[in-house]
Structure 1
Amino acid sequence: MMQHAHAPVHAAAAPPRPLGGQNRISPNNRFIPICEHADQEIGTTASRRTRRGDFLRAATWAISQGLHPKAGDTTLRVARDLAARLNADGHVAYCRDTTWRRLGVSRRTLERHIAVLRELGLLVWAVHGTRTNTRPAGSGEWAGTATIYAAVVPRAWDDAVGHRVRGHGYHARHVGFTERGRQLAIADACRRIRPARRRDTPSCKTNHPRPTAEMRGKKNNTSAPQGARPRPCRRHEVPEPYRASPGQAAHAVSVAAWVRPRVPWTQGEGLRRLAFALRPWIATGLSAADLAADLSAWHVSRRPASPASVIMARWSETADHDVPAAEPVGGEETARGVPPNAAFLAAMDTVRARLTSLSPRVEPEPDQPGFVIRDRILASLAEADRARRARTAEQCLTFAEWESVCDAREGAPW
């Protein structure tokens, strides 16, 4: 990489030296290419300095007008590549070895089109590159000096588009427009304005019949008849078992917040999605402790991809089993189970009472307010800081740690 190949160049150009016969328009109004290298310097050029937009427009104009017999589409590609790398001063590093690879042309082709841009008065030399090594002798490294070009526009382009220019040479300035130039600038601005985006494409428009307005009286502000267009239904209907009021939804979220840390395989699910999946189970009257116990007994993989989907699928299976079976055709009687007797029901009540006494129901703990949690955290941090400052020299592992303890004691407030 050559020196200052990518660094912004702030070369102070020498004031333009007026030359005789710098007007590059022949008596028959034909552009004369600038073939002398002496007229392609930043201090001797008849073109004025410019920025990216005018440089590209001038290059397009010069190539489309056929001012140079060797200028073409490749010349415009080279100009666009240089314009994309212009800095704030309108200077650009040549970087020949990377530019011809980026453009997909040969090195000789790139050099030829750069020369065409110079002859069109669109590029001038700001710094001539050299292969002299700029690194210290004996360092084993080599770095030359990059060639720096300055973007300019010829006076012929200013005259063609109606620019009023003050001054001469590189430091000339564009100060206004002629009457014809103003019209051309307005037309060019209108052409470059992007059209407003449509809200929908023609293929998305509908041609449904619309009711005509009823004209009553002499007023021109009329409205369509009431009830002419039915109100569209909701796009996403929530299934019946999952519908809930705002209060029920908030209660489901609090239950899910209590259940999730106690059931490992549900900890990968979002809180609101888990609360939505648990709504049917909560509606049956199950408490948070009962839900945690039931979910822990399910045979589920350690980390399912979607715990909410597992819960919803299990509810669908349960709801399907609860649907009563259809009556058999032909009057056939089916075998019915024997109802439990009184002794069995009494034994079941005894077992439930014993289990309740051994493991009473755990009601969900109320959520702590945010300021209580914050005060606890601050108090624990303050206690840890006091314990750190109260350490003795024997409790410190290194001398630097003991010095930090002493500094903390000196800096602590009384």
Structure 2
Amino acid sequence: MPSPTLPVRAAEAQEEQKATGGSGLLVPDPAQWISTTSGRIAPDPYTWLQAVHWVRDAQAHTPARTHGPRFGTTTVRIAELLAQLTPCRPGVDYLVRMLKVSERTVQYHLSILRESGLLTYTLKGSRIRQAAARASVFVRTIPKAFDEAIGLRTVSSQTFIRTVVGVVSDESRLALAQLGKKAARTMRRTKRRGARKARINSSAKSSRCTPMGAGAVTSSPAAPTNNPSEGDLGNGKDQQARPEKRIRRKLNAVGRRHQLALELVRQVPWLSGSQVARIAWAVRHLADAGWTAHEVIAVLAQRAPARRVHRPVGFLTARLAGAELLYDTAAKRAAIVAWWRDSPQAAKERHAEWQSTWQAPRSFAVRRLVQDAWTRATRREPLAALDEEPTSDEQREVRTTAWRQYLTGRPELVTSALALAGRDQAEQIYGRDLVERVLRLRTTSSHLRAGTA
């Protein structure tokens, strides 16, 4: 558990800095969260880098520790990298790799940025046993001391906590312009460095995306979980980042043959279910000549296929024999494709389903299952003989329900009994009078309907 005297020490250091004439910019750990910060959210990286350069030039930061580095060049270099991350989820390993510094140095300067009010926690990472590691997520913020020192007028904002509405004096505009030049120079230098690394390593294309491998985490008395170190908190793989575009490799001769065969299997009905490798062997000469699937189908459509194709690969080979010699130019193939698209007979064949004689399964067990299913579907089980008049309350309820549905124009109970059991059994269930009414209704005009007004 963090020491409760840490905020007290920070307050003492801040008071000491004010007494010596400094600005005393030191944000204690409990105020380093987005819900408790006194700063405002930076609307863009350019504005945030202005505040970073102001803290460095004015030496506004008061460190909470007596040892370790101070706000300087390395802090600005880390800020340059953080300005590119969206969202700001820096991994310590990523910063170490980019800056060529030690892990402890990165941890020091991240804490300096938080103490200066330039970084604010949105989510604090953790390493829990038997659970997935979480990386810290930051928001780039501008401390209130920056607005007061430069002379900016701010009002409340739902998006940025506070937003700038004006500048107090011309000196404030001049100071902002000078900081803007430094921020613009920093952003140009970062872009040039990123472009140079992109030429060396293709992985630098995603340099502006946040690496999700690690989280920058230090101790805080307001932290709801254990305090992990700012080390590696993940496997370095970004699950939410935009996937890189896959570079399609140029197909060789074998690949083009299989691609053409796959298209034919999908588009030609009687080739459905055939092995792509065997189709690729049958159309190897056409694929090597640069034929497309539409050109092959146009040649096949010149003659109607047989009613029953026993061997699709052999039938295809016979139909395409010598086609690459007959249509040896692209103009000839374009003409046959145009004929295929405009021909009424070809259009009819394209829209008609492939019809073939059904063949019984080869497996005896499958044939027996099919026969049993067909027998059950066509067999009508005779119902037990019933008396003319219902003998139980349930039978009377069935007839009453059927009569009520018939009078409302819904004789489905009787019609289903006629279809499944026949007229005799339907009369035993629902009565002769109701069945005759339903049959008479079926033979009349479709404009008539059973029911009462």
If the length of structure 1 is used for normalisation, what is the TM-score?
0.39
Higher helix share: 2
Q: Normalising by the residue count of structure 2, what TM-score does the alignment of the two structures yield?
A: 0.36
